[in-house]
Structure 1
Amino acid sequence: MGRSQKEKGNRREREFASIIGGQRIPLSGAAKHVGRAHTGDVTGLGLRFECKARKDGFRTLYNWLDEDGIDALALKADRKDWLVVLPVGRFLQLMGKDPD
């Protein structure tokens, strides 16, 4: 990973941590070398989050969420657990936090 990609990732992690009132996990990319305490990118609301940011890599997900009346996506790959994707404002509401 190049320097600019690492900086972008760090910015996005700090941004998400701020939104949820959490904190960025230091050395999060080094978890396999330094232990589970550094697993994930952000911690908050009693959860650990892995943050991913792509220029346009999630276009289909955003398009599905933009359909009228859709609150969240339920996604499943063969032999994998279900995933739920929802806008952060809705997530904060469900967690009992004010999304501002």
Structure 2
Amino acid sequence: MGRSQKAKGSRREREFARLINGTRIPLSGAAKHAGQEHTGDVAGLGLKFEVKARKNGFKTLYQWLDQEGIDALAIKADRREWLVVLPIGKLMELIGEE
């Protein structure tokens, strides 16, 4: 991973941590490469988050969420558990952190 990608990842982790009043986990990426247990990128709301940012890699997810009247997505791959994707504003509303 190049320097610009690392910087972008760090920026997004800090941004997300601020949004949820959480904490960015220092050196989270380095732990993965050092053979240590991965602890996530951001901790907050009683959860650990892995933060991903792509230029246009989640286009379909955003298109599905942009449909009128849709609050969240429920997605599932074969033989995997369900995942729920929702906008940060909706998450904060649900947990009472508006």
TM band (smaller chain): over 0.9
Q: Are 1:64 and 2:59 counterparts?
A: no
SS in 1 for 2:43: strand
For residues 35 and 23 of structure 1, the distance between their equivalents in structure 2, rounded to whole angstroms, comes to: 20
Q: Which residue of 1 aligns with 2:7?
A: 7
Which runs of 5 or more structure 1 residues have no equivalent in the other structure? none
- Alignment length, in residue pairs? 97
RMSD: 1.2
For structure 1, which segment, 82-91 or 23-32, has the greater mean C-alpha deviation from structure 2 after superposition? 23-32
Opposite residue 7 of structure 1, the aligned amino acid is A
Deviation at 1:77, TM superposition (A): 0.3
Fraction of identical pairs, as percent? 70
Aligned equivalents of 1:45, 1:61: Cα separation in 2: 23
Aligned mates of 2:35, 2:86 — CA distance in 1? 31
Task: Give the helix-richer structure, 1 or 2.
Answer: 1
TM-score, with length taken from structure 2: 0.93
Residue identity matched to 2:84: V
> TM-score, with normalisation over the residues of structure 1?
0.92
1:1-100 → structure 2 map (5 Å cutoff): 1-32=1-32, 33=34, 35-36=36-37, 39-98=39-98
Q: Which amino acid aligns with 2:12?
A: R
Segments of 5+ residues of structure 2 without an aligned counterpart are: none
Give the superposition deviation at 1:72: 0.2
